[in-house]
């Protein structure tokens, strides 16, 4: 049943993996959780990844804390808390920690489509067997690249390096408070970081402040995934109320009614991923008709449905 796909992860917890992953990495949503559309990993480490190319997936990064450097097309981009970047597939890039010695980078990493965690599993499994190291302790990058072939992951070796074929113009960086342009302007409480057209319709990603209750409703096509950046979010699902605090993650499967509301003051700030994408279109429709759909800090379900049914989102009108 669809409702069996629901899960709520504690802060720092990870979805089950085939082999243990590094302690700096936790899988919030894996390929099997999202029907292959994306993977979401929380990283809390040195942030260093040498120059490489993803052939099969785009990489989307939201920085929670620290100083992350993304080296792309001859420039180093400095990302701090609240900043976001989309790195397109097929283009060389690298990442490193730009903070002081001993500091960490805390970031959410989305691969779309999914699969990044399965590559990491293979690398960890081979590493446990000492199959990726030379006798002198250096990493054998050729063997690592062999493991990466099924996942389209290729590191630069200094010769016979991977060719670039991706569209560099798809890269973009958003500073704190910035959002992707859309059909209508939306307030800062609904920061659209990645639109459906940015991700081949696989996902939409928004930074949202949940300032008022969202009544019981059903997404008939898209799953809704929420990572709590700050505050507390209350979630009604399958007859139970769940409280999700900072660092917790919840997957709300399509086809099952649910409701959310702020559980703290100030209200919670969350990263919301809808998959497949398109949630930003719902937000734009509601902002365009906000005087009709919301009065006195509460949404009107009947008015909401006039604009959300076309996007396969239906609110219960007998609440």
Q: Which residues of the chain have a pLDDT value below 70?
A: 1, 129-131, 319
Token match 């052939």: residue?
55
pLDDT given for residue 132 in this prediction: 74
Give kind and range of the element (H or E) at residue 26: strand 25-29
| CA–CA separation, 35 and 38 (whole Å) | 8
pLDDT given for residue 138 in this prediction: 79
> Which DSSP symbol is given to 75?
E
pLDDT given for residue 129 in this prediction: 60
pLDDT digits (tens, 9 = 90+) for 78-113: 999 999 999 999 999 999 999 999 999 999 999 999
pLDDT given for residue 103 in this prediction: 95
The DSSP bridge pattern shows strands 233-237 and 258-262 to be: antiparallel
User: Of 205, 243, 240, whose CA–CA distance to 225 is shortest?
Assistant: 205
pLDDT given for residue 2 in this prediction: 83
> Which DSSP symbol is given to 38?
-
At the topology level, CATH places domain 179-315 in Jelly Rolls (2.60.120)
pLDDT given for residue 111 in this prediction: 98
pLDDT given for residue 295 in this prediction: 85
pLDDT given for residue 159 in this prediction: 77
Residues in contact with 308: Cβ distance below 8 Å, sequence separation at least 6, in sequence order: 217, 282, 285, 286, 314, 315
> Which DSSP symbol is given to 278?
-
Assign domain 13-170 to its CATH architecture.
Sandwich (2.60)
CB 47 within 8 A of CB 103: no
CATH 2.60.120.10 in the chain is located at 13-170, 179-315
């Amino acid at each position: 049943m669809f409702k069996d796909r629901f899960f709520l992860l504690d802060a720092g917890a990870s979805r089950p993996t085939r082999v243990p992953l590094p302690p700096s990495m936790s899988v919030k949503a894996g390929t099997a959780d999202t029907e292959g559309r994306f993977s979401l990993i929380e990283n809390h480490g040195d942030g260093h990844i040498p120059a490489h190319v993803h052939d099969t997936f785009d990489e989307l990064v939201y920085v929670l804390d620290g100083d992350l450097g993304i080296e792309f097309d001859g420039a180093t981009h400095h990302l701090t808390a609240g900043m976001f970047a989309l790195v397109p597939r097929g283009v060389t890039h690298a990442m490193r920690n730009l903070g002081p010695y001993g500091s960490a980078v805390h970031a959410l990493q989305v691969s779309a489509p999914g699969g990044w965690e399965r590559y990491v599993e293979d690398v960890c499994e081979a590493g446990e067997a000492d199959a990726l190291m030379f006798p002198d302790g250096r990493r054998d990058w050729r063997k690592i690249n062999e493991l990466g072939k099924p996942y389209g992951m290729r590191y630069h070796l200094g010769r016979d390096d991977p060719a670039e074929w991706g569209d560099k113009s798809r890269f973009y960086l958003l500073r704190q408070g910035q959002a992707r342009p859309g059909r209508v302007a939306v307030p800062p409480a609904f920061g659209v970081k990645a639109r459906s057209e940015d991700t081949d319709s696989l996902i939409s990603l928004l930074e949202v402040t949940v300032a008022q209750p969202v009544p019981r409703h059903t997404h008939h096509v898209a799953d809704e995934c929420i990572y709590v950046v700050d505050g507390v979010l209350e979630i009604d699902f399958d007859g139970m109320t769940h409280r999700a605090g900072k660092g917790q993650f919840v997957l709300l499967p399509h086809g099952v009614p649910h409701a959310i509301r702020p559980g703290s003051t100030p209200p919670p700030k969350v990263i919301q991923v809808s998959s497949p994408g398109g949630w930003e279109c719902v937000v734009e429709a509601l902002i365009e008709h906000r005087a009709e759909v919301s009065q006195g800090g509460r949404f009107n379900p009947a008015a909401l449905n006039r604009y959300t049914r076309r996007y396969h989102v239906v609110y219960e009108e007998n609440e």
